[in-house]
Amino acid sequence: MTRNFFPHMSFRRAMMVALLVPMFVVVAVALWIMATLDADSMRRHLVDTAETTARVVGDYSSSDLAFGTRDESVGALALLGQDARVDAVALYDTHLELFSSWRRAEEPAVPIEAKLPGAVERAVTRSGDAAVEVWRPIAREGERLGTIYLRFATDDLSARRAAHLTTILLFGLLLVGLGFVFAAVAQRVVSRPILQLSSAALRIAESRDYSARVAPEGSRELRALTSSLNDMLSAIERHQRERDAAIAEVGRHAEMLEQRVHDRTGALEASNRELEAFSYSVSHDLRAPLRAIQGFGRLLLEEQGQHLDDEGRDFANRIVQAAERMDRLILDLLEYGRLGKKQPEIEDVDLDTAFEDARRQLADVLAERDTAVTVTSPLGHVRGHHATLVQAVSNLLSNAAKFVENGSKPVIQVRSRRDGGKVRLEVVDNGIGIAREHQDRVFQLFERLHDSSRFAGTGVGLAIVKRAIERMGGSVGLQSEPGHGSTFWIELPRA
């Protein structure tokens, strides 16, 4: 991973820093080296001057030492004071005692008398921070006459160093200033188009206005970059337009479809309603003549039975039975229609109670077929409508008791089990079973798998069960194999 050395810097500032820092370092180092060399050469020069001065003055003063002319000597030394660098000068005799001297300051840190460290055999130069000091023996034709001591102040050395430091600082400031100016110019020339491009890209990204274009400006590379950006924007814009059109098209289709579904549903519901109203009124209106047929049939058998022969009684019986079957069918249809019309009120229902009510309703039928019903209590509580549930359970029991082989006794098991938030009530019979391919049909209205002569029934019972349970928010189903009985189940939310 490349590390970004200027993580929080703008392009402009990073560029400036990259330009200025090396420049500043180079100039500072160069100036520093120059200053050091200059200070060095200046010190050497000062040392040379001090030594030469000591030699010349020592030579000049040799006769003073030789002939003891102290006043002349002092005057000569005092002339050196015109050189601002000269701090002090002194002559010592061969006994190492002060002969004459001159010094600039009234009170020297070290008395001039103590400036002679001892017999000086040859020239000694001591170059310190504060001063350059020279000791030099004075002789004439090999004969020692004394010693000269000369002290040069290095004030101007430090002054020079300060001047150099000031120069370095000024150059640095000048450089920074120039750098700023240069960076400003460079920004105008180089980075401004980049910044413009960058801000334009940012603006487009934020506003998502892909129809905008950036005017090409700046260097060749930048122009290429800008035109690439513009191409990209064009592509995005085109894609967006296509996508928007596609979405609109899809939306239009969906709307159309919805409208069509709505229309169809309305039509269906209307025809359904008409059909139900029709069947209800038909069923209702059919019952009156049916009751007449039934009633008068019975009367015929009871009142006039002795006048009829066996065949006549058989016919009358058939009329009555047919009328009863028809009434049964009509009642079932009415029940079925009522379930479709009215939403049952949902409440807590005790399945045990519902089961007992259903068994009581069917007591005659069950007893007639010698049916054995076992129940595994408790069956639990569900959310539902009591009467509707009783009707459904009753129909299931009736169904279970009905489809058995001739000669067999129906055996029915009723049990329940909890399945998550639901309760499943199962009615298990020992009947003839239903083949898998027919299982889907049993809950449909008027679907009969068998001839009604073999198993009596209207073909409405299980349809009523399905509609009733579904109206209460539940579901129905079965598992069965031919010859091994069937298990019908209903499932409702647990109370």
Partner 1 sequence: MTACAASDYILSYQIEKQDFGGGAIQVMGTVVPTRFVGLVGVVLLLSASVLADDSRVYDEARVKAEFVERFCRFVDWPESAFASPDAPFVVAVLGKATVTPHLAEVARLRTVKGRRLEVRRLDRPDQVPTGHVVWISADAIDQLDAVLDRSHGNPILTVADTPGAAERGVLINLRRDGPYVRFDINLAEVQASGLRFSSKLLRLGTLVGPDVEGPR
Q: How far is the CB of 111 from partner 1 (least distance, A)?
A: 10
Contact pattern from residue 4 through residue 43 relative to partner 1, giving x for each residue in contact according to CB under 8 A and a dash for the rest: ----------------------------------------
Q: Note whether 477 and 414 are within 8 A (CB).
A: no
Per CB under 8 A, 70 contacts partner 1: yes
Binding segment for partner 1 (CB under 8 A), chosen from 54-62, 236-244, 295-303, 431-439, is 54-62
Residue closer to partner 1, measured from CB, 31 or 65:
65
Q: How far is the CB of 66 from partner 1 (least distance, A)?
A: 4
The residue type of 353 is T
Q: How far is the CB of 79 from partner 1 (least distance, A)?
A: 10
Q: Note whether 164 and 31 are within 8 A (CB).
A: yes
Contact pattern from residue 82 through residue 111 relative to partner 1, giving x for each residue in contact according to CB under 8 A and a dash for the rest: --------x--xxx-xxxxxxx--x-----
Q: How far is the CB of 96 from partner 1 (least distance, A)?
A: 11
Residue closer to partner 1, measured from CB, 103 or 402:
103
Per CB under 8 A, 123 contacts partner 1: no
Residue closer to partner 1, measured from CB, 94 or 279:
94
Residue closer to partner 1, measured from CB, 136 or 471:
136
Q: How far is the CB of 137 from partner 1 (least distance, A)?
A: 15
Helices (H), 369-429: 386-402
370: helix, strand or coil: coil
Per CB under 8 A, 81 contacts partner 1: yes
Q: How far is the CB of 67 from partner 1 (least distance, A)?
A: 5
Residue closer to partner 1, measured from CB, 148 or 358:
148
Contact pattern from residue 309 through residue 328 relative to partner 1, giving x for each residue in contact according to CB under 8 A and a dash for the rest: --------------------
Triad 238, 244, 248: Cα angle to 5°: 145
How many residues bind partner 1 (CB under 8 A)? The answer is: 32
Length of the chain in terms of residues written? 495
Per CB under 8 A, 125 contacts partner 1: no
CA 190 to chain CA centroid, Å, is 37
Residue closer to partner 1, measured from CB, 112 or 308:
112
Q: Note whether 475 and 412 are within 8 A (CB).
A: no
Q: How far is the CB of 138 from partner 1 (least distance, A)?
A: 11
Buried b or exposed e, range 324-353, using 16+ CB within 10 angstroms: eebbebbebbbbbbebeeeebebeebbbbe
Q: Note whether 38 and 168 are within 8 A (CB).
A: no
Q: Note whether 104 and 87 are within 8 A (CB).
A: yes
- Other Cβ atoms less than 10 A from the Cβ of 259: the count is 10
Q: Which residue has the tokens 């015929």?
A: 300
Q: Note whether 462 and 392 are within 8 A (CB).
A: no
Q: Of the candidates 22, 68, 340, 483, which one interacts with partner 1 according to CB under 8 A?
A: 68
DSSP-assigned states of every residue in 170-213: HHHHHHHHHHHHHHHHHIIIIIHHHHHHHHHHHHHHHHT-TT--
DSSP-assigned states of every residue in 130-176: SEEEEEEEEEETTEEEEEEEEEEE-HHHHHHHHHHHHHHHHHHHHHH
Please, which residues have CB within 8 angstroms of residue 470's CB and are 6 or more apart in sequence? 476
Whole-angstrom distance, CA of residue 425 vs CA of residue 415: 6
Per CB under 8 A, 62 contacts partner 1: yes
Q: Of the candidates 129, 141, 437, 451, which one interacts with partner 1 according to CB under 8 A?
A: 141
Binding segment for partner 1 (CB under 8 A), chosen from 123-131, 138-146, 220-228, 302-310, is 138-146
Cis bond before residue 378 (omega within 30° of 0) = yes
Residue closer to partner 1, measured from CB, 93 or 356:
93
Residue closer to partner 1, measured from CB, 104 or 369:
104
The residue ranges that bind partner 1 (CB under 8 A) are 59-60, 62-70, 72, 74, 78, 81, 90, 93-95, 97-103, 106, 112-113, 140-141, 143
